[in-house]
Copies of this chain bind each other. A is one copy, B any other.
Amino acid sequence: MLRISKLSDYAIVLLSEIAREQGGQGVTARHLAASTHIALPTVVKLLKLLKDHGVLLSIQGRNGGYRLAHRPSDTNLAVIIEAVEGPIALTECMNEELDCQIHHNCNTKAHWVHINAAFRQALSVVNLNDLTRGTMPVRVSWNGDRAPAL
Contact = CB atoms under 8 A, between A and B. Distances in A.
Interface of A: 1-6, 9-10, 12-13, 16-17, 36-38, 77, 81, 85-86, 88-92, 101-103, 106-108, 110-111, 114-115, 117-119, 121-123, 125-126, 130-131, 133-150
A144 B149 contact: no
Given A118-B119, A137-B147, 19 more contacts: A9-B102, A36-B103, A77-B111, A111-B126, A111-B131, A111-B136, A115-B122, A118-B140, A119-B122, A121-B140, A125-B142, A135-B149, A135-B150, A136-B150, A138-B144, A138-B146, A139-B143, A139-B145, A139-B146
Contacts of A81: 2
Contacts of A108: 12-13, 16, 131
A120 to B, nearest CB: 10
A136 B119 contact: no
Contacts of A37: 101-103
In the complex, the count of this chain's copies comes to 2
Nearest to A108: B131
Tell me whether chain A's interface is mostly helix, strand or loop, or mixed: loop
Contacts of A12: 108
Contacts of A122: 114-115, 118-119, 122, 142
A133 to B, nearest CB: 7
A39 to B, nearest CB: 10
Contact of A107 (B85, B101, B131, B140): B131
